[in-house]
Amino acid sequence: MTRNKQLEDLHEVIRNCTLCPLHETRINAVPGEGPATSRVMFVGEAPGAREDESGRPFVGKSGELLTSMIQEIGLSRETVFITSILKSRPPKNRTPTQFEISACRPYLERQIEIINPKVVVLLGGVAISSLVGPWKLSEAHGRFYETDNRTYFMTYHPAAALRIPKVKKSMQEDFQILSQELV
């Protein structure tokens, strides 16, 4: 089976998922999007209102900023894979629970396995703590972390960068560090 087909089949399972109570309140599950051959994968926290309505990741204000930061380092949104730790929106965008994160985790693990990216970029504290452990964001950002034959890169979530200009600047600097690894 091609990687594309494996990813499509997985995404169909995610769209119909009922493993946690979020399936009762969501409009659409948001598996993620991008080529099955992406070298870079971006992982956020959870879908928001716009993502829930459209079924697509990072299409709201945070998504606009993420897309422009991706472009600033010479990549395009169409060539990277974008997803989040949770595939369904928590009501009122509350922080994901440990139960939801654990229930959703095999989906992200399978996406990483199929795509086999060179770098998995973790956007913000929830993505970082879910995949590589309890780092302080102020110490983690701008760093690569290798574990289980995977390379992760830790940075801020674009929603924080939208609120705090200093964080936006740090995140842009982090993206420059990331881009050097991708040449």
Binder of ligand URA out of 31, 57, 90, 117 (CB under 6 A) = 57
Residue (5 or 102) nearer to ligand URA, CB: 102
Binder of ligand URA out of 11, 22, 42, 47 (CB under 6 A) = 47
Contact flag: residue 51 with ligand URA (CB under 6 A): yes
Contact flag: residue 33 with ligand URA (CB under 6 A): no
Instruction: Determine whether 176 is exposed, middle or buried from the number of CB atoms within 10 Å of its CB (0-12, 13-18, 19+).
Output: exposed
Q: How many residues bind ligand URA (CB under 6 A)?
A: 12
CB-based contacts of 60: which residues, under 8 Å, 6+ apart? 48, 49, 50, 51
Contact flag: residue 48 with ligand URA (CB under 6 A): yes
**Residue number, nearest CB to ligand URA:** 44
Shortest Å, Cβ 56 to ligand URA? 8
Q: What gap in Å lies between CA 23 and CA 1, rounded to an integer?
A: 29
Contact flag: residue 175 with ligand URA (CB under 6 A): no
Contact flag: residue 100 with ligand URA (CB under 6 A): no
Q: Are 40 and 117 in contact (CB under 8 A)?
A: yes
For residue 123, the cross-strand partners are: 155
- Dmax (CA) for the chain in angstroms is 46
Residue (114 or 157) nearer to ligand URA, CB: 157
Q: What gap in Å lies between CA 61 and CA 48, rounded to an integer?
A: 10
Contact flag: residue 46 with ligand URA (CB under 6 A): yes
